Each structure stands twice: as structure tokens, then as C-alpha cells.
Structure 1
Amino acid sequence: MVTLVAVLAMAWLAHRLRWNEPILLVAGGCLIGLTPQFRTLALPSPVVLLLFLPPLLYWESLTTSLREIRTNLRGIVLLSTGLVLATAAAVAGVGHALGLAWPLAFALGAVVAPTDAIAVQAVARLLPRRIRTVLRAESLINDGTALALYAVVVGVAVHGQAVTWPGTAARFLLAYAGGVAIGAACAAVVVALRRRLHDRVLESALAVLTPFATYLPAQTMGVSGVVAVVTCGLIGSQAGPKVISAGARVQITGFWEVSTFILNSALFVMVGIQTPAIVSGISSISPGHAVVTALLVGGVVIAVRLLWLYSVPYLLRAIDRRPVQRTLRSGARERFPLAWSGVRGAVSLAAALSVPATTAAGRPLAGHGLLVFTAVAVILLTLVVQGTTMPAVIRWAGLRGDPDETTEERRAHRQIVTAALEALPDHADRLDTPPETTDAIRSELRQYAAEDPGPPDAGPGVRSGLELRHTLIGVKRSALIRLRDQRTIDDIVLRRLQSVLDSEEIRIELALRAFSDRPPPPPDGTAAPSGRAPGA
């Protein structure tokens, strides 16, 4: 209850003052954490990974453009795997130089390596579609890479497991391949169920269950639950428009938008609540040493990302001279917002809190408190330094919204209306629609009227006109999905136009229901009594 109140209060204050929302959420959490009642509050990290991570990842993958992922796949893979490993190695080197044993130093690197694109979601809307998609896809995939590395190094630190390069590589491949397989299998089951469900409540319940039912089996089998959830979400984003009804989609979208906002905001509040206890818990080392370690690690995290994005792409550019790759190139100034978007968040906190405080033999794990403190400090540092300066960085880079989105949306709008016009005569004949009603609908389509004005109170052909409009929505939706499948438009444009069609379909269904419930006119053709006295 207190967390929810803090979420609403801090979010309202952030919108009111136009400040960075995650920073205010963390600050509000810190104030709560300083009170005596909440000083010992600690959310178990398995709860964070199970209750928070699957729905957040699932919704992100559902609303990501798969076409843009395919187009920028090489860069996304390099960021979500190569950069994660490079960051973990660099942080491990710094951590070991400052006194951490190598296994725990690599654990620290794995903890702070993954980015959190949700933390910069508000300002990311100002970025072009390509950079926005790269950021979101990187954040989805790099969690799996970091957590797979984390499992290996924590096993070494706590259980003393031996590390070999072939064995480590095999575990990475198994984690990814197994996660993809389980995610694809769960997506196939969900799509098959959706084809048979015709109840909004059941469809919504299935949407809530899906991320957890995908994550848990993967984790139980020892493969990446993160990769499984992302795979299931990406497949679902392609199949969903074909198998989910309009009413259920509107209901599910509203649910996910509210629930993911609350979950994500609550995570930042929990970061703040636990920060005072974490700071007071580093009794084994001096506060000065802890602060220096945190600042150095935070600087390395930011510097490695900048170095990577201003070196590896140019190296690949010198090797790959294909024309298609030249169209994807960007200048140094345009590249900087992507390089500056490495904000860390809830996954890093959950992973840090998951590191056991003792070894398998029961001895205290040396450096545990420093690891947790450093992880929290890096989260706060990136939120303050990078999160608050992102709007200025975007303005300096001269980036604007993607004009191609508007062009694609207009093109798609024209083509789906054209498809409806072509199908109009056949459907009008099948439904026995009066000619005057058919002509009126044809006129609406030619004027690109996407919304139905609503039925008149009376008149011939009202019901058949509504039925014809309802049928043509299916034609439009099929044409829209076909444009997406042909990669003429991407998923972002599809969802935007799909929401318009869904709203139109729901309005027509309500009008048809009201028309069916309307009492029949009296046999003599006079108006039905209204319950109002004549002359009143």
C-alpha cells in the first residue's frame, strides 16, 4: 500500500515538475527507507525476478517492432552479448584491483552489465524509431546474457565450481537455445488456445498467465527464462493481431499498460527503500573505499559503452561494405544518444540481492556488501548522470521523430481502405444491403473516414449497414496484417492503426447490440410509447 501511494505521488510530481520519473521514485523510496518501520524491509530477489521481470519483459517484447529488430539484428546482438561481456570483464578488472576476488568481481560485472531501457522510456519517445527499437531490443536480450554469466560466476564464488572455456560456452548456448525452444513452444500453445477462446475474460486471463507460464518452466529446466519470455512475446506480437478479438485486445492492452507502469515504478521505489539499509550494511570496509569503488565502476560502465559504440561499428563498417549496410550507418553525433542510454535498473538490483552472503561451506562471502552497495550506486549514478541529461543529448544530436512512421501509416491507411472498397460490392450483395446504404459507406471509405458516425434512430438498411461496416473491418484488418507481413509497415504502425479499427469495431458491435435490443415498432407503424404523457 505504501509503495503504491509512493508510486502515484512521485509519478504525479514528476509529470507536474517535468523531472525524471525514475529518480523521483528512487528518492521517494529512500525517504520511506529512512523511517524505522521500513529500515528492515527487503523484497526477496527471487520474488523480484519471478513477479516483476516476466510481465515487464513480455509487454516490452509484445510492443517491439520485429521488422526493425531484423533490420538492425547485427548491432542488437553485438550490444546485447558482446558489450555485456566486455562490460563485465572491464568491471571485473576494476573490482579485482580494488580488492574483490575474481569470481565476485565477475559477479559484479554481470550484475551491472545489462541496461534498463524502461528507465529512459519517457525520453526515448523523442528518438527515431530505429534507435528506440535498438534500445528496447538490447535491453530485452542483454538481461539473458548477463543472467547466464551471473549464474556461472556465482556458482564459482559460492560453490567453488571449476570454470573452463568450453564448459562456459556450452552453458551459454544451452541457456539461449533452451530459452528460445521453450518460448516458441509456449507461444504455439498460447496461439492455439487463443484460436479457441471467445470470451474476453478468459483471453485476458491467458494474457496474464502467459509470461509466468513461460518463465517458470525455463528456469526450472536450467535455461534462460528471460530469453523464453522474450521469444514468446515476439512470436505473440506477430500472431496476436490474427487470433485476438478487438474487445479482448483493448482490454488486455489497458491492463498491461497500467500493470507494467505500477510494476516498473514499484521496482524503483523498492530500490530507494533498500538503499539506506544497503549503505549502512557495508561495515567490513571504509565508506571512502566503497564510494571510490562505486564511482570507478560507474565510470567504467559508462566509458565501456561509449568506447564500444565508437569503435566496433566503425571496425565493422571497414569490413562490411555492402550497400544495404551503408543505409544503416549513422554519424558520430547521431550515435551519441544511443551510447549515452546505458541506464541500469531493476534487473541489476535483483541480481545483486540474489548473490548469497555466505558460501556453500557456511563462511561469509568476502566482498558481498561491497558488491551490493556498488550495484545500487551504479544504478543511481546512471539514473542521475545519464537519465537526467538524455533530453539535452537528444536536442544536441539534432534527432527528431521518425518521419517514415507517418509515411507508412498514411500508406497503410490508403491501402486498407482500398481493400475495403474492392470487397464492398461482394459483401453488400451477401448481406442484402440496400443500395443507398452501400453508396453511403462507399462515400465514407473514399473520404478515408475511419470512424462510424453511429446509426440513425430509424430508417431502412440501418442494421445491414452496420453489419456491412463490421464485415469491412475484417477486410481492413486482414489488409493491414498483410502489409506488416510483407514488411511494408512495421509493428508500431500496425498497432496504431489496429487500435483505430478495434475502437470502430467495438462501437459497431455495441450499436448492433442496441439495435437488436430495440423493441419492434407497433403493427400500425406508430411510434412506440416513450413513457411520457402526450402533450407533457
Structure 2
Amino acid sequence: MDPLTTFVLIGALVVAAAWLAPRLRLPAPLVQLLLGLLVGLLPQVRSIHLPSDAVLVLFLPALLFWEALMTPLREVRRDLRVILLLSTLLVVATTFGTAGIGVALGWGWLPALVLGAALAPTDATAVGALARALPHRNVIQLRAESLVNDGTALVIYTIVIGLAASGAHYSGWEITGLVGLAYGGGAAVGLLAGLLGTFVLRRLTDPLLHNAALVLVPFASFLAAEQIHASGVIAVVIAGLYLSRTGPRSGTPQSRQQRDGFWTLATSTLNGALFVLIGIEAQSAMRSVPLASIPMLLVLCVLIWIAILLIRFGFQMITTWGIRLVDRSPAQRQKRMTHRARVVSTVAGFRGAISLAVALAVPADMPGRAEIIFVATGVIILTILAQGMLLPAVIRWARFEPDTMVAAEFTRAHRAALLSAIHASPGLAREIDVPEHVRERVVEEYRDRLERIGAAPEPGRSTRRDLDHDYAALSLALVDHTREVVIRLRNHGAISDATLHRLQTRLDRDALHLTPASAERHD
């Protein structure tokens, strides 16, 4: 199938799945994967293959960068000890546990370890797409773990492939050096990319230039890290985390609005394409192994999938007991999670793009490559389909407390910012020479907003919040009417398309400002 046809087909499947998902009451990634599996049955689609370089060079830097950019560092620091344990030692334990099952069923240690390294890390994009219903803290912990554990898995993979290719022997110091270079070198490159990115972005006021430079950051950091044989994944994550701190002081409102729109569209499209391609790749993997070996390989998929869940849950229990033995401080007690929360974390440990990319990157001349790809693809599908469909029920069973932290913080921050603005208004008005009646008008608007924050409705009486929603709904209806008038003027030849575009841009800004308040009115 030619590239253009492939592009159109995958794009159509991504859009169709996004449209079907809410109607089927299923997460979009599940529907995308299922559509990929169905389309993979067509003979014309069998020629589509997912190159490992495309995942590692095109998909991962963009997806991981946006995940890191949207990951709050405060929450990461709070659970840093657990995140580091899960993203390093758990990856090692999962690799060897998975490899042990393969060896028990007749595999050699080297292909079994390659398979283990591929399936050890959880996938940040799958977690972000499928675990959104979790409380804020749990989601952040899972995302942070998924952002870091890819580096550990890729180091293990590099060592095993080196052993398989040349029979080289790695001493303990050499392995330590590889790990140190992967993490230390990747972190250093990522930090440098974040510093240079901040320096450049703060000097670019044009929204297009600003966002074009931002798009270059993840790919440049990934490339620079790979050039020194460090972890490109770690470099991208560190650059994203750094820019998440410095980004709010760079750019303009237009560039930030453009950034959010672009990255939301790009990452959701790339995510969807990955899930569709995983489904298509499953058909290719099935055709690449001897027919007689498929039943045993399917059994191996199920056994490894169960083992991954058991290892993850057992590791969390052991590390929890260990931390409680060495740290009994009150601060640590406040961080404790219930056993039910650990079950949720176990079920939410999805495998995805990085696992498939590692499996596909196995050298073509390595014995057992086809079987590695088959089993890796099968386990990925099991985690996404089975765990993805099971997760909502497990979340309900876990009986999490209502997650009001983010909403409460928003209210406190909004109130503090408005109060500070009101108090600062006299000095600012004098500084920029604004008449007093203008200042009073602006301050009155701020006081209205302050009064509406957290307003509680009284029986039989409309609150200021209700009036605000009514005001927004009417204003939005008037904006829509105005837009129709402008379009009719263009259609009758009274104004040009350029004039229409300028007026519509202004009306769209008004509509975006009004839409959230209007939508709340109908919630």
C-alpha cells in the first residue's frame, strides 16, 4: 500500500474510532485498537508495517514531551521515592520475571531477556489515554513512572542485544557506566535543552515562531542525547519538565493558546495512530511465525500478562513494607495509599508503543525475532483491551475519596490573585496614568468575579454565578447571530473573505471566552 493511502486509512480509522468511542461507551484507544485489528484482516493492509525508528524518533519524543510538559513537578517530588523504585527496580524485576517464564517454556535466555526488556516499562501515552478517571495523585504517579521507566528498559535492551550480537561480556562497572550514561547523560542533555529552550522562547514574541521553536525542543534533545549514547527518552522528559516550570513566563497569550491547540491535536492524533498501528501490526506478527507454534505463543502471552500483573502488585506491596520499616515519619504516613489503590495501579500499568518499538528494533538476524514481536504484540493487546475494560470497574471497587484537591486549589489561587489585583489597582493605575473612573469600573468587575467564586446557591434564589451563566449564554447567542450576519455580508459580496476572516477571528475569541461559563450553566 502506498504511503498516501496508508496515511488516509490510518487517519480515517483514528477519526472513526474517536466518533464511535462515546457512542459505544468505551475509551477511544480501545476502539482504535479494535479497528486496527479488524482492518488488519484485509489483504491490502498486510503490507503496512510499523518501523521501530518511526516510534522512537517521530512518535515518542512528541508524546513524551507533551506528557512531561503537563506533569506537575510538585506532585512528582512528593512521590519521588516510589516513582524511582517503580521506574528502575520494578523494570528489572519484570524483565527477569518475564524472561524466566520464556525460559521455562523452552526459550533461550537472550531472546527471553529481550522480550522482558520490551514488556517491562509501562507506557505513558496509554496511561494518559486510559487512566484519566483516576484521582489526580494516582494519575500523576503513573504518568511520572511511565516517563522514566523507558530509559531503564532501553539500557537493559542495549546490554542484551550487545551480548546476543557479539557475545561481549559486561562487567558490573560497565553496566553501571551504561546506566549512568543513559540517565546522567540524558538528564544533562535534557537540562541543557530546557535552558536553551527557555532562553530562546522568552525572546520570541511571534506566536508562530514561538511554537515552531517549541516543537524543535523534544526532537533536538532526543537527537543530542542519542549522539552521545545517552537516553533520548530521559532527555526529552527532563526538557519537558524544565519547560513546564519556565514556560508560564515565556510567550504571549496567543502563543500559549496556539500551543495548547496544536499539541492537543497532534498528540491525540499520534496516540490514535499508534493504537491503530498496534492492531494492524498484530496481524503481521501472527503471519510471521509458524502456524504450529501459535497456540504455545498465545499461552505464553497470557502467562506473561498474568506474571506482569502479579509482579507489579507484589513489588508495590514489598516496597511499601520496606518504606514503612525505614521511614515512620508523619509526612510519610500522609503519603500512604490503600491496598485497593495498589490494585488500581496494577491494572493501570498498560504496555504500549515503547514495548512494540523495542520488539521491532530487534536485529533481523537474531533467532526468535518473529516470536518476540508476536508475544510483545499479544501482551500489549491484552493489557490495553483486558485491563482497559476492567479498569473502570476496579476504580469503582477501590472507592476513592472524591478528588477535590485540584478544584480547591483553583478556587484558592483564583481568589488570591483577584484580591491581589484589586489591592494593586491604585498603584498600577497611577503608574500607567489611567483615570479614576476607569480604575473603579475595572475593580468593580474584579469584585464581581471574586463574589462569584465558590458562590453557594440559596433555595429559590438565583446567585451571581447563575446570573453570570445567563449573561454568558445570551452573549454567546449574540456572537453566533453576529457571525451569521457577517457571513451573509460576505455571501452577498458586501465584504471580502479577508474582512470576514478578521471579523470571525475576533468573534471566535469572544466565543472562546464565553463558552466555559455558558457550558457550566447546562451541567
TM-score class, shorter-chain normalisation, is: 0.7 to 0.9
Which whole-Å CA distance do the structure 2 matches of 1:54 and 1:274 have between them? 21
Which of the residues 171, 193, 196 maps onto 2:200? 193
* 1:200-221 residue CA offsets vs partner (Å, 9 max, x unmatched): 1101111211111111111121
Matched residues in 1 for 2:170 and 2:292: separation?
Answer: 29
Structural mapping, 1:178-257, within 5 Å: 178-257=185-264
> Do residues 448 (structure 1) and 449 (structure 2) align?
yes
1:438 aligns with 2:439: yes
Which residue is 1:414 aligned to?
Answer: 415
Distance 2:289 2:319 in 1: 38
Higher helix content, 1 or 2:
2
Q: For 2:91 and 2:410, how far apart are their aligned partners in 1?
A: 35
**C-alpha displacement at 1:124, in angstroms?**
2.5
Distance in 1, Cα, partners of 2:267 & 2:223: 19
* 1:16 maps onto 2:23 in alignment: yes
Query: What amino acid maps onto 1:383 in structure 2?
Result: I
The equivalent residue for 1:278 is 285
Deviations along 1:4-31, one digit per CA (max 9) or x if unpaired, are: 0000001211121111322221121122
Q: Which residue matches 2:316?
A: 309
Query: How is 1:494-505 mapped onto 2 (pairs within 5 angstroms)?
Result: none
RMSD: 2.0
Could you tell me which amino acid in structure 2 is paired with residue 107 of structure 1? V
Map of 1:379 onto structure 2? 380
State how 1:430-509 maps to structure 2 within 5 Å.
430-448=431-449
Aligned partners of 1:444 and 1:124: how far apart in 2? 39
Aligned match of 2:301 in 294, 307, 317? 294
Cα 1:434–1:507 shift into 2, 3 Å: farther
User: Who is 1:355 aligned against?
Assistant: 362
1:328 matches 2:329: no
AA paired with 1:350?
A: A
TM (norm. structure 1) is 0.81
SS of 1:355's equivalent in the other structure is coil
Contact 1:127 1:400 in 2 (8 A): no
Instruction: Verify: 1:342 aligned to 2:349, yes or no.
Output: yes
Q: Secondary structure at the match of 1:310?
A: helix
C-alpha displacement of 1:425: 0.6
The whole-number CA distance in structure 1 between the counterparts of 2:347 and 2:131 is 12
SS of 2:229's partner is coil
State the Cα distance separating 1:84 from its structure 2 match. 0.6
How far, CA to CA, are the matches of 1:401 and 1:119 in structure 2? 24
User: What are the superposed Cα offsets for residues 92-129 of structure 1, whole Å, 9 maximum, x if unpaired?
Assistant: 11112222221221111100011124324355332221
Moved more, 29-38 or 322-331: 29-38
- Cα distance in 2, alignment partners of residues 424 and 378 from structure 1: 60
Distance in 1 separating the partners of 2:146 and 2:400:
21
| Corresponding letter in the other structure for 2:168 | Q
Q: Is the 8 A contact 1:343 1:382 kept in 2?
A: yes
| Alignment-derived partner of residue 491 in structure 2 | none
Contact in 1 for aligned 2:29/2:129 (Cα 8 Å): no
User: Equivalences for 1:2-151 in 2 at 5 Å?
Assistant: 2-151=9-158
Identity of aligned residues (%): 42
SS in 1 for 2:205: coil
| Range with bigger deviation, 155-164 or 374-383 | 155-164
Cα pair 2:313 2:342 within 8 Å, conserved: no
Structure 2 segments unaligned to the other structure (5+ residues): 1-7, 453-467, 473-505, 514-523
Checking the alignment, whether the CA contact within 8 Å between 1:69 and 1:133 is kept in structure 2 is yes
In the alignment, the residues of structure 1 paired with residue 130 and residue 35 of structure 2 have an alpha-carbon distance, to the nearest angstrom, of 21
Which whole-Å CA distance do the structure 1 matches of 2:137 and 2:143 have between them? 10
Q: Secondary structure at the match of 2:202?
A: helix
Contact 1:58 1:230 in 2 (8 A): yes
* CA pair 60-91 structure 1, distance change in 2 beyond 3 A: same
- Runs of 4 or more, structure 1, over 4 Å off, are none
Match of 1:40, SS?
coil
Q: Is the 8 A contact 1:344 1:382 kept in 2?
A: yes
Structure 1 pair 153–285 and aligned structure 2 pair: CA distance change class (3 A): farther
Task: Tell me, in whole angstroms, the C-alpha distance in 1 between the residues paired with 2:152 and 2:127.
Answer: 21
Q: Hey, what does 1:534 align to over in structure 2?
A: none
Per the alignment, residue 425 of structure 1 pairs with: 426
Compute the TM-score of the two structures, normalised by the length of structure 2.
0.83
The 1-side partners of 2:54 and 2:139 are apart by 29
> What is the Cα deviation at residue 334 of structure 1?
2.8
1-structure distance, mates of 2:279, 2:367: 25
CA distance in 2, matches of 1:122, 1:97: 34
> How many Å apart are 1:400 and its aligned residue?
4.6
Distance in 1, Cα, partners of 2:51 & 2:367: 21
Task: Give the aligned length.
Answer: 452
SS of 2:121 mapped into structure 1: coil
User: How far apart are the structure 2 equivalents of 1:400 and 1:345?
Assistant: 29
